[in-house]
Amino acid sequence: MSPSLPALFCLGLCLGQVGSQSGALPKPTLQAVPSSLVPLEKSVTIRCHGPPGVDLYRLEKLRSGKYQDQAFLFIPAMRREHAGLYRCSYQTAGHWSPPSDQLELVATGVYSKPSLLAQPSPAVSPGGDVTLQCQTPYGFDQFALYKEGDPEPYKNPEMWYRASFPIITVTAAHSGTYRCYSFSSSTPYEWSAPSDPLELVVTEFHEASRKQNVSPTSKVSTTEASRNITTSTKESGSPSAPARLHYTRGNLARICLGAVILIFLAGILAEDWHSRRRPLLRRVRAVQRPLPPLPQTQRSHSCPDRGRPDVRHQGLHS
């Protein structure tokens, strides 16, 4: 027997009321305190927030089959097995709410830290472009850039040990402290330690804020200090011309004294050379004089030797 029209209308109305009642429940929010990026051995609390009058909370870790009927989960020391995807839901008047957005709980410090560089420079003017490069000596294929104050990091899948995060048309909102992480796609919730912080500075923004923070009294003191600095530089530079003149005169005096000493030494050397040359000339002239006649020539004419035997004759006959 087919149901009557009033019965079908009543059944549709009842189903509509149940659907509207279950659809009216807002989905809860899931939050990690103090952060969803948790260093190893550090504590973290995962808390599910729903409307007042909730009968039951359910907090579960996806892909593990584990859950608990509580609004929060306290982890005293972060481990690699705690990392993963979490979500929660609640029950009110026998109806379950839609699940919350998924929370990525990441364990950091599993690997050594990468390095973060800014190209061409970490100081950028408004409207300019800058690229933040995250580098690591290991073969990771996933990188994440995190700015302090932002709720979520910027992920960039790129291989070959490096990832680039370009920032086009820089504004004052881009200034801040950045860190980057590296990890593998096979273990997406086990990250490296954060890189050393990189401070991105928007130059004109900082100069304008500095000018706005300066009070009138500090402006006067700054002006007076600049005047004092200008005056002191002028006063210190005034005696520079006499000092240079004195230095030039001193050099000329040293040059003249050196020339006099050289002339004096040259005179002494010339005198010594002349004194050594005079005896040599005298000896040469004495050697060139004619020799006196031999005395044996005179003796042969005056006293002939007749009684002396002939030595050559005796020698021949002996």
pLDDT average per 10 residues of sequence, the chain (318 residues):
42 41 78 95 97 94 92 96 96 93 96 95 93 90 89 69 89 94 93 96 62 41 36 39 55 82 84 65 48 52 45 41
Which pLDDT score is estimated for 231?
A: 32
Which pLDDT score is estimated for 290?
A: 56
Which pLDDT score is estimated for 23?
A: 54
Contact of 154 with 145, CB cutoff 8 Å: yes
Which pLDDT score is estimated for 265?
A: 85
Which pLDDT score is estimated for 206?
A: 43
Angle at 257 between CA 252 and CA 262, to 5 degrees: 125
Distance CA 139, CA 135 (A): 10
Which pLDDT score is estimated for 78?
A: 97
The domains located in the chain, with CATH, are: 23-108 (2.60.40.10), 112-207 (2.60.40.10)
Residue 286, amino acid: A
pTM of the model: 0.56
Contact of 43 with 77, CB cutoff 8 Å: yes
